[in-house]
Amino acid sequence: MSEETPTTTRKGGGWAIWLPLALFAAFVALVLIGLLRPADRNVESTLIGKPVPEFQLPPALPARPGLDSRDLANGKPHLVNIFASWCLPCRVEAPQLAALAEAGVPIEGISVRDTTEALQRFLDEHGDPFQRIGADDDGKVQLSLGSSGVPETYVIDGKGVIRYQHIGEIRPEHVPLILDKLREASR
Amino acid sequence: MIAELGLAALWLAAALAALQLVSGALGLTPKGAALAGIVRPVAVVQGLLALTAFICLIYVFAVTDLSVKLVAMNSHSMKPLVFKIAGAWGNHEGSMLLWVTVMGMAGGVVALIERRLPERTMLATLAGQAFVSIGFYAFLLIASNPFERLSPTPVEGNGLNPLLQDLGLAFHPPTLYLGYVGLSVAFSFAIGALVTREVGPAFARAMRPWVLAAWIFLTAGIAAGSYWAYYELGWGGWWFWDPVENASLMPWLAATALLHSVSVLAARNALRAWTIMLGVVAFSMSMVGTFLVRSGILTSVHAFAVDPERGSFILVLLAIYIGGALTLFALRAGTVTEGERFALVSREGALVFNNVMLSAILGIVLFGTLYPLVAEAMGAKVSVGPPYFNPMGALFVVPMLVVLAVGPLLRWRNDRFGRVGGRLVIPAMLVAAGAMALLVMGGVSLLPFLGLVLAVGLAWASLLPLRERKLRRTPLAVWGMVMAHFGVAVSLFGMSSESAFSIEKLVAVNAGDTTEVGPWLVRLDGVEPVAGPNWTALEAQLKVRYKDADPVMVRPQSRSFWTPPQQTSESALLTRWNGQLYAVLGGEGEDGRWQLRLWWKPFVTLIWIGGLLIAFGGVLALIGRVKSDLRRIIARDRTADRRESQGR
């Protein structure tokens, strides 16, 4: 049974020695494809298709009404933007929100963990597209909407039902998508 | 103030890592030899600074300093203290800080105590360790600063994912991290050896304790994680082939292979290039696993740790480190001289077989984990689960287990099966008897069937290396091996039994109703509200009775946390010597009846007991190895002293 079959250790020199590197290169290529392609990060929120949970938020600015969940069910679709003055991506999306407001889209704001002064400064600097701004000082309403970060934007139809949740900032290329969702919501 | 101190320590540690890399690399050149002396001290201080930063982070979490963004995002003043502290590493930034801390400390310990290797290899090793550390320091400081302040300071924190508010969390991830990062030492040793081409038994003996220690932590971490998922998720399963679980399994498989090949290298000076490659691969798998988890490129139940941008950062680190190491390997391994030869039937032969099988399983798990990505690149969305992993894995696990029974009995270099065949008669008979019993019983599907009969045979065979040995003079390393192999049999038996004999029952019951599951009678006495420190719950009062024994109360809960609001189910487990009763409280039906999900899982606990035995076997082996290493060092010092005194 035990003929002298000398087994050599894996000896280098041949192509086999490059194999691990080649496999790893294939892995990196694969992962790069995965990272670079516009990934389908549309996490389907379980709240989509459900009515907005009830909430009443006090005004975040003295001169502007706060936000009540009943304000959203007035027959017209709304955008609800969850933002904060301390949030950098919120600055990135400000021009897109301004453009949407320009186009006549009613936008309501929920400002999370913010102060009046900081909020006022933020709006002075980056534009103010909001009709109402509710102050969500402990982030509870944000969580009840199923949002875990800022910014997030919801499309709510005229009956107060959540139709779409946009996680992260609205970039210029997302504007047509948002308009589409609003159009769907107004049907 | 403490947060700033931590940040400063982190920057200093990063700077020292850079110094360590430069001085280590220059120390290898003839001109820079003067720098070689500072490498070891720098490595030690670097580790201490990283530790300082980590202690600062624990402090700000312990006192709930909400002006630190990380604390505000992940902690809450009303949390019990132990979970506040665990919160320090229960998030991305904190866990990466833990990562660099362990890495820095490990480098420091190597610098402090490792004296066996040629100094040039040590320099290259420590430079390699620093090179890897720098990337992770950069990652922390640039992309995930754990000490970032938040202004204005919120009045209350966001809490911690309630699923993670569990003692299991306090120990499971750091245990795994110790394992992952311990492998970085093996990686650096491999790099050092490739740079200086010094591969041999001394190198293997220096590397082995690190591989062993990392492997122990990985084993314990995986066992703990599996048990955590089992009782906390409330799904009754103990392994889901989830990407995050696979991410911890892959380094373990590589480390197991490395552990065995490094032993061959230490004992027989064979498998040189292969051991080096496994050293690179094992830590690479740790990093790949971390990347897969952090990048969110694969979705999983562990999705609390997701961030695509950080994923890209880790990918760059991966490309540099793994790509670089494998390139170095390809360039240098050809010039590493060939090791000793051996016959096909020999201890080495069996260990090579084990290595090939483990590598194949690693390949299968890696492929299955990545396949959804491949499919997505081609435009399809798929997920890969047990129907792929179980049979494909078994294809290689089964032959490996057979060799596991035989291998430890073989002699080094050259042996005959005929010599050891006689000793395997009893295990073979056990396998046959088990197979017959199961066939008579019927109803057991193929994989659990194979698992059960192999487990019985293997349990016996694993003890055979102790025969014909004086037990008190048997080296600890042999005890460790026997215990670990026995643990494999125990764990395998638990897995197969759980899969073959579990009884599951989903019922809707009124208070006062009794239902039967396996040998148990379960009666719902009522459902009551209870309150905890930051949750409220509905608690079912179940009076359960095992056969004729006295009834016992168990209380599964459905918990609601309020910071952040989330529901979890706290399963109730009742352990008997021959299995576990697993009860989960579901929702209330419209007719006022309560949903109960009940399992009777015979011998399920053996899965984790086996895992602990495996880890404990590792501990014994580690103690044995370190002890004999120490003895050898002392003996050598004495001889040196004697020579010196005789010479004069």
- Residue A177 lies in domain: 56-186
pLDDT higher than 70, residue B126: yes
**Residue A34 near chain B (CB below 8 Å):** yes
Q: Where are the beta strands (DSSP E) in B470-619?
A: 503-509, 514-517, 520-531, 535-546, 552-554, 557-562, 565-570, 572-576, 579-588, 594-602
Nearest CB neighbour to A1, from listed B284, B311, B418: B418
Q: Would you list the DSSP string of A47-90?
A: TTTSBPPP-EE-BSSTTS--EEGGGG-SSS-EEEEEE-TT-HHH
SS3 B234: coil
Question: Could you tell me the CATH number of the domain that includes residue A148?
Answer: 3.40.30.10
Cα of A10 vs its chain's centroid, Å: 51
Are B114 and B129 in contact by the 8 Å Cβ rule? The answer is no
A chain contacts of residue B377, beta-carbon cutoff 8 Å: 30, 33-34, 37
Better pLDDT: B238 or A2: B238
pLDDT higher than 80, residue B142: yes
User: What average pLDDT score do residues B447-475 get?
Assistant: 89
Exposed e or buried b per residue across B154-172, where buried means at least 16 C-beta atoms within 10 angstroms of its C-beta: bebbbbbbbbbbbebbbeb
Within a domain: A26: no
| Closest residue in chain B to residue A18, using alpha carbons only | B330
Taking each helix axis from N to C terminus, what angle separates B2-27 and B36-62, rounded to the nearest 10 degrees? 160
Within a domain: A60: yes
User: What average pLDDT score do residues B390-408 get?
Assistant: 90
pLDDT tier at B162, thresholds 50, 70, 90: low
Task: Tell me how many residue pairs between chain A and chain B have CB atoms under 8 A apart.
Answer: 116
DSSP B139: I
CB contact under 8 A, B416 and A9: no
- What part of A 114-173 touches B (C-beta under 8 Å)? 115, 118, 137-140, 143-144, 148
Residues forming beta bridges with residue B517, ordered by sequence position: B520
Count of C-beta atoms within a 10 Å radius of residue B594: 21
Residues forming beta bridges with residue B230, ordered by sequence position: none
**Residue A115 exposed, middle or buried by CB count within 10 Å (0-12, 13-18, 19+):** middle
Within a domain: A47: no
Query: What percent of chain B clears pLDDT 90, i.e. is strictly above it?
Result: 35
CA neighbor of B452 nearest in space, from B398, B493, B415: B493
Quote the CA–CA distance of B37 and B628 in Å, as a whole number.
28
Mean pLDDT estimate for chain B: 86
DSSP B472: G
pLDDT higher than 90, residue B240: no
Within a domain: A157: yes
Quote the CA–CA distance of B2 and B199 in Å, as a whole number.
45
B chain contacts of residue A40, beta-carbon cutoff 8 Å: 381
B chain contacts of residue A141, beta-carbon cutoff 8 Å: none
Query: What percent of chain A clears pLDDT 70, i.e. is strictly above it?
Result: 85
User: What average pLDDT score do residues B166-180 get?
Assistant: 80
Nearest CB neighbour to B273, from listed A9, A18, A24: A9
CB contact under 8 A, B273 and A28: no
Q: Which of A1, A3, A4, A9 to mutate to test the interface with B (most CBs of B within 10 A)?
A: A9
Angle at B269 between CA B267 and CA B275, to 5 degrees: 100
pLDDT of residue A91: 82
CB contact under 8 A, B330 and A20: yes
Which pair of tokens denotes residue B333?
Answer: 């391994």
User: What average pLDDT score do residues B151-171 get?
Assistant: 68
Query: What percent of chain A clears pLDDT 90, i.e. is strictly above it?
Result: 8
Q: What is the pTM of this model?
A: 0.78
pLDDT higher than 60, residue B550: yes
CA neighbor of B577 nearest in space, from B554, B546, B551: B546
Quote the CA–CA distance of B48 and A18 in Å, as a whole number.
38
Within a domain: A62: yes
SS3 B537: strand
Segment A125-178, tens digit of pLDDT:
888 899 999 988 877 788 778 776 778 899 998 888 888 888 778 888 888 888
Segment B241-293, tens digit of pLDDT:
888 888 889 999 999 999 999 999 998 888 888 899 999 999 999 988 877 77
A chain contacts of residue B284, beta-carbon cutoff 8 Å: 24
Q: Would you list the DSSP string of B45-75?
A: HHHHHHHHHHHHHHHHHHTT-TTBHHHHHH-
pLDDT higher than 80, residue A38: no
Q: Number of structural domains, chain A?
A: 1
Cis peptide before B162 (omega within 30 of 0): no
Q: Which helix (H) or strand (E) holds B395?
A: helix B386-406
Which pair of tokens denotes residue A61?
Answer: 């600015």
**Residue A86 near chain B (CB below 8 Å):** yes
pLDDT higher than 80, residue B164: no
pLDDT of residue B299: 54
SS3 B588: strand
CB contact under 8 A, B334 and A118: no
Are B293 and B244 in contact by the 8 Å Cβ rule? The answer is yes
Quote the CA–CA distance of B521 and B471 in Å, as a whole number.
46
| Closest residue in chain A to residue B265, using alpha carbons only | A9
The alpha-carbon gap from B287 to the nearest alpha carbon of chain A, in Å, equals 12
The alpha-carbon gap from B562 to the nearest alpha carbon of chain A, in Å, equals 9
The alpha-carbon gap from B488 to the nearest alpha carbon of chain A, in Å, equals 27
* CA atoms A88, A90, A91, A96: torsion sign: positive
Segment B103-114, tens digit of pLDDT:
999 999 999 888
Exposed e or buried b per residue across B633-644, where buried means at least 16 C-beta atoms within 10 angstroms of its C-beta: eeeeeeeeeeee
| Closest residue in chain A to residue B350, using alpha carbons only | A7
pLDDT tier at A8, thresholds 50, 70, 90: very low
| Closest residue in chain A to residue B415, using alpha carbons only | A2
Quote the CA–CA distance of B262 and B208 in Å, as a whole number.
6
Quote the CA–CA distance of B228 and B172 in Å, as a whole number.
8
pLDDT higher than 80, residue B431: yes
Segment B11-54, tens digit of pLDDT:
999 999 999 999 999 988 888 888 888 999 999 999 999 999 99
Segment B68-120, tens digit of pLDDT:
888 888 777 777 788 888 888 877 888 889 999 999 999 999 998 888 888 88
- Only one residue has tokens 């197991």, namely B256
A chain contacts of residue B187, beta-carbon cutoff 8 Å: none
pLDDT of residue B220: 93
CB contact under 8 A, B334 and A31: no
pLDDT of residue B380: 65
CB contact under 8 A, B323 and A24: yes
Segment A58-105, tens digit of pLDDT:
888 888 888 988 888 888 888 999 988 877 778 888 888 988 888 888
Q: Which of B75, B341, B419 to mutate to test the interface with A (most CBs of A within 10 A)?
A: B341
A chain contacts of residue B343, beta-carbon cutoff 8 Å: 2, 4-7
Which pair of tokens denotes residue A33?
Answer: 């494809």
Residues forming beta bridges with residue B566, ordered by sequence position: B561
Nearest CB neighbour to A10, from listed B273, B326, B344: B273
Query: What percent of chain B clears pLDDT 70, i.e. is strictly above it?
Result: 93
Phi, psi values for residue B188, rounded to 5°: -65, -40
Q: Would you list the DSSP string of chain A?
A: -----PBPP---SSGGGGHHHHHHHHHHHHHHHHHHS--------TTTTSBPPP-EE-BSSTTS--EEGGGG-SSS-EEEEEE-TT-HHHHHHHHHHHHHHHTT--EEEEEES--HHHHHHHHHHH----SEEEEETTSHHHHHTT--SSSEEEEE-TTSBEEEEEES---GGGHHHHHHHHHHHH-
The alpha-carbon gap from A176 to the nearest alpha carbon of chain B, in Å, equals 24
Which pair of tokens denotes residue B261?
Answer: 């090949």
**Residue A2 near chain B (CB below 8 Å):** yes
Quote the CA–CA distance of A61 and A68 in Å, as a whole number.
15
Are B485 and B408 in contact by the 8 Å Cβ rule? The answer is yes
Q: Which of B299, B309, B373, B561 to mutate to test the interface with A (most CBs of A within 10 A)?
A: B373
CA distances in angstroms from B174 to B30, B80, B193, listed in the order given: 41, 19, 29
